[in-house]
A and B are shown apart, each in its own frame.
Chain A
């Protein structure tokens, strides 16, 4: 079955819609949301609503640090910008939506694949997988052959042979990669709602669990509209600008 993997949607309705449309056209039958549904973007309500409906239909969704912060409410120790976004986001969600976000699990196992927002060694600690060392730490912390995670916004693939060292690969959009059974893999599809690698197109990936083939994609979407909504909502200006620049 072909499963679409979407990470870090960050309340970007336009990006989510474009990725889902693309995934449907590719034949996706299942969906996994790898955390941070909200935060930064101007459409937390519609995005959360869409994911709630998907989860009712069998989709996987895990908790992200932004989802947790929104569900728990802002704390005084936070950066003022972050606090402002969290308070704004809470104000634009229904109690049911906030409860849904707060009730998301840290991780979900499907077959050989672990779905988690940040890493496998301490899912609630929110440490990033930034390099081969971190990826190795995460891979050794789980018996799952494949780990899908988000949190880091740039698409990346790590692999480790039995007893071997971890190697890093920067994926090429549209090229199917067979995740062979003799090694373990950690895949980061990249952020759908706030890409930061200089390319504003939304990131997501498709995984076929029958063939173990993983394909990364970049989907162009209406970032101008998403950015305009961020500004119109009175959210920090730079959160809109970075959508258009992909930074």
Chain B
């Protein structure tokens, strides 16, 4: 099938070219109409003849294979694709507006804005990772935003799907990615680790927060390899008063060894949304780059780095779930509190990278009638937090893997569901009060959470009063799957 030169009015497979949006080295982008599809559409046409760049067509093959498998708010909706020998194309939903690249002009941005943008990008990354896809070319120009605020990731030409062949494997000797953002393992042609995207997220946050690229913009393989051993200048050396929590998060994303980064994008997003809960380490205090000896040691180690064939997005996410345990510290019986601890421990212990978020809801009245509502509320919040920590104490959890949250809402179930959604929680553990008078009066919080949460929910019931912990046989943990993608361990 041969086509005329691309021009407005040309119809390709039922789509009419309307307006040239972008000409890149790999592809041109056109706004198109047709096939009775109403929302704005963009057609991506890979450059075949002009560039002669074999990565252009390989990137098209990858994107055509992966895009139809992706769903949800964080990717453009896939509409159609065809692989005609003369002129292949992909048509997808057009996400209007400038990319995140436009914000770089204003860098350094205020830290709260960097954290907020970072949390949005992290949510989008976690969503595609949960769908088995590693992006491998995350950069500001590949991040768009919906009118409702959610980040949308575009351009899957370098991406990798856990369950599909890697069409770029063995084809190219040079590392695939974009110089400033490419992770150390990608420089070594390792393409199966979702934590590569967390490295790129770290570069993006660093650039937005300091106005400087952490590893410059190298164009040679030798230049790219420097990041295998040379650590970046800490942000606080560049920006006066840089918040330690944000330096901790950014430098942890930029660790050379993926195992020293966060386990998942959800964990990065969680920390960006809860600065006060970030466990600060020596990273937060670092004021200069590492000395020559440390760098030399890392350089030597980098020579032997190899891919782990068992790594994949799915396995990495399964190893590091975020578990929310909802604890009604004031109303639940001692037996139920103990049973919740047992189940929380089981779920937490199963995976080495799991994190536990302990949550309690402080019920607020819609209209405050107390004489000094602000002061009362503040002391109540502190009291609940103390009780929540007291509940968790017997679990002896490592401090960097547990957080505590007092939510305030008249609607306990709604608050738990919202927290689980915005923090990419994988699994909710919640107690059920059984047939108490309170439950008849207030309705069941747990059944609403089971019905409406998008992740798996385990409902814990207490053994008969007097029995501290449920045995394995009795109904101590009834699991119910929510409507979302199947999270691990449910």
Taking Cβ atoms with an 8 Å cutoff, the residues of A that contact B are 132, 157, 159, 161, 164-167, 169, 172, 175, 177-178, 180-183
Contacts and interface: CB of A to CB of B under 8 A. Distances in A.
A180 B171 contact: no
B83 A164 contact: no
B170 A182 contact: no
Nearest to A172: B163
Given A157-B165, A180-B83, A181-B83, A166 B61 contact: no
A159 B164 CA distance: 12
B64 interface: yes
Contacts of B57: 182
Contact of A164 (B64, B85, B170): B170
18 contacts: A132-B170, A161-B54, A161-B58, A161-B167, A164-B171, A165-B171, A167-B166, A167-B170, A169-B164, A175-B163, A175-B164, A177-B164, A177-B165, A180-B61, A180-B83, A181-B83, A182-B83, A183-B61
Nearest to B172: A164
A169 B165 contact: yes
B170 A172 contact: no
A165 B170 CA distance: 6
Interface string B56-69: 01100100110000
Contacts of B171: 161, 164-165, 167
Contacts of A177: 164-165
Contacts of A178: 64-65
Which of A166, A167, A178 has most chain B Cβ within 10 Å? A178
Contacts of B85: 181
B169 A167 contact: yes
Contacts of A159: 165, 167
Nearest to A164: B171
A167 B167 CA distance: 8
Interface residues of B, number: 17
A165 B169 CA distance: 9
Interface string B145-172: 0000000000000000011111101110
Interface of B: 54, 57-58, 61, 64-65, 83, 85, 162-167, 169-171
Nearest to B88: A182
A178 B162 CA distance: 14
B78 to A, nearest CB: 13
Contacts of A172: 162-163
A175 B166 CA distance: 14
Contacts of B162: 172
Contacts of B65: 178, 180
A146 B171 CA distance: 19
A212 to B, nearest CB: 10
Contacts of B169: 167
Contacts of A175: 163-164
Lowest 3 A-B CB distances belong to which pairs? A169-B165, A175-B163, A167-B169
A161 B166 CA distance: 12
Contacts of B167: 159, 161, 167, 180, 183
A161 B170 CA distance: 10
Contacts of B163: 172, 175
A177 B64 CA distance: 12
Nearest to A158: B165
Contacts of B64: 178, 180
Contacts of A180: 61, 64-65, 83, 167
Interface centre among B58, B85, B167 (most CB of A within 10 A): B167
Nearest to A174: B163
B169 to A, nearest CB: 4
Nearest to A157: B165
A172 B165 CA distance: 10
A117 to B, nearest CB: 23
Nearest to A169: B165
B164 A166 contact: no
